[in-house]
Amino acid sequence: MTESEVRVSPSLGFPRYGDKQNSPFFEDYLVRLLEERDRIGMTGMIRQIDALMITVEPGNSLAYVGELCLMTPYHYLVTLETEQHATHILRIDMAAPDILVREVKDPNTRGIFRSLNEVYPIGAHRPNSRYMGEIFRVTNTHDVVDLQKSRDVRFFNQDQIRRLELPGNMAVVKPSPYTHNIVGYWERPEDELRVYALGISSIRDDVNAAYRQAKETQERLGLVDLLLPIDHLATRVYSQNREAAILEYLTLTSYYYWGSYDIDDQNSSTNVTKSAHHANELESPAKVFTAANHPYFVNHLLGLPSPTEDFVRNFGPRLHHLAVAVRDGEAGGRPNIDYVVDSLRGCGREFLLDVVGSQEEGLKQIFSSASEYSSLIVEYVQRFGDFQGFFTKGNVANLTRAAGVDETLRSLQAEAAG
């Protein structure tokens, strides 16, 4: 197939970046899947990410809402109560996705999402805590579901959605065998508010108090105008599932393949997909897949570190971090990201390393310590001026190395705890 033939498909018309060598299987099916997706109208029907779903342990949602409202620009909107869950809706505005923080009420609640945690040594210590997946706005749910079913995509039926207490006004794909995440679809006109069919609605006094305290701290620290919406979501998968995870996500969404880079000294690759409809990631975050270059059982022969593979073996395939964009500019004579991080450190927030990168390189980044409530890391990223790349290999190597050290410590602590 010639280059001109490939570029007939809109989803394949974006520039390709990176130095990672993909397999012939990947390159062949990338073209075939995206050409078909465009041809049958799926790309046009699936739009932006409307919401992210996170579940936490009983009693942890109050603290986690406070943490997110301090470390991100999100606001507490409302709580939706069902028999088994309380779901707190966090929102910036209708141009950015919501975050749905679900708390399991009964620690003995069983279900498919808990089972995805329990087979992994660290994941089992917080069996109900996990990032669940993304909800996409679609123009016609019935047509999208019918087309996806014709492509062998499997969905929860309505009885399963009811028993799992997922939003009743959505179609939900069963967890991926590669990422353990779900994808949801719901039909929402662009000009209508997001309303979730998730039980009785109220504004809880305790959650609202935690939210207000977080925002008062943000205001006092001067962070309100510096924090922007989510830039990207980063999932870690097993080395052998890298290509399948990317192709599956492109099958389920309207995203395209931006490219992949090898991070040789950390024995991993970073692989980026982006929305075909929104050039600005703040309107629909990029989805990043990180995977080891080699499976764990050959590392003793290679003499290489394997932080990504170690993470997946300890936690299972799952989201590793969500990245919050920091407004370009300076505060107090320093880049905004340095001001943000120093301010948060001053009120007790911990980070895995110092800010990496530079204005000369085009961006600066940093990882927070993992949340004790969700196990998710918050990344901050500031891009300078007209920086055209998505990241730099040096930054990613430093971030991956720091996260690997932290995850090793957590693994040892989990073993000591039995």
Q: What is the pLDDT of residue 414?
A: 60
Judge whether 403 lies within some domain.
Answer: yes
Q: Long-range contacts for 367-371 (Cβ within 8 Å, ≥24 apart)?
A: 367/321, 367/399, 367/402, 367/403, 368/71, 368/344, 369/406, 370/406, 370/410, 371/64, 371/67
CA distances from 166 to 59, 62, 172, 252, 365 (A): 20, 20, 8, 19, 34
For residues 259 and 361, membership in a common domain is answered with: yes
192 and 295, same structural domain?
A: no
* Residue 328 sits in the same domain as residue 374: yes
Q: What is the domain range of residue 280?
A: 219-416
* Count of the separate structural domains present in the chain: 2
Phi, psi angles (nearest 5°) of residue 325: -75, 145
| pLDDT (average), residues 87-107 | 97
| Within a domain: 102 | yes
For residues 237 and 360, membership in a common domain is answered with yes
Q: pLDDT-derived band of residue 321, with 50, 70 and 90 as boundaries?
A: very high
CA-wise closest residue to 233 among 34, 13, 51: 51
- Is there a single domain that holds both residue 199 and residue 249? no
Considering the domain architecture, whether residues 142 and 268 belong to the same structural domain is answered as: no
pLDDT band at 2 (very low <50, low <70, confident <90, very high): very low
d(C-alpha 249, C-alpha 237), whole Å? 13
**125, 225: one domain:** no
**Is 342 a residue whose pLDDT tops 70?**
yes
Distant-in-sequence, close-in-space partners of 191: CB < 8 Å, separation ≥ 6: none
Answer whether residue 21 is part of any domain: no
**Does residue 226 sit within a domain?**
yes
Q: Establish if 186 belongs to a structural domain.
A: yes
| One domain, residues 187 and 327 | no
Task: Show which of 204, 233, 268 is a domain's final residue.
Answer: 204
**Residue keyed to tokens 């949801």:** 184
Same domain, 68 and 156: yes
Say whether 358 sits in a helix, a strand or coil.
strand
Please write the tens of the pLDDT for every residue from 142-154: 999 999 999 999 9
- β-partners of residue 17 are 259
Q: What burial class does residue 200 get, using C-beta atoms within 10 Å of its C-beta: 0-12 exposed, 13-18 middle, 19+ buried? A: exposed
Q: In this structure, what token pair is assigned to residue 342?
A: 């120093």
The rounded distance, in Å, linking the Cα atoms of 329 and 248 is 38
- Give the Cα separation of 325 and 282 in Å (integer): 8
Q: Is residue 23 part of a domain?
A: no
Q: Are 308 and 291 in contact (CB under 8 A)?
A: yes
Q: Give me the CATH number covering residue 115.
A: 3.10.180.10
- At 185 the pLDDT is 98
Please check whether residue 375 lies inside any domain of the structure.
Answer: yes
- Band the pLDDT of 4: cuts 50, 70, 90: very low
Whether residues 51 and 139 share a domain: the answer is yes
Q: What's the whole-model pTM score? A: 0.95
Say yes or no: 122 and 225 in one domain.
no
- How much of the chain, in percent, has pLDDT values that exceed 70? 95
The reply to whether 252 and 191 lie within a common domain is: no
Residue matched to tokens 């390393």 = 353
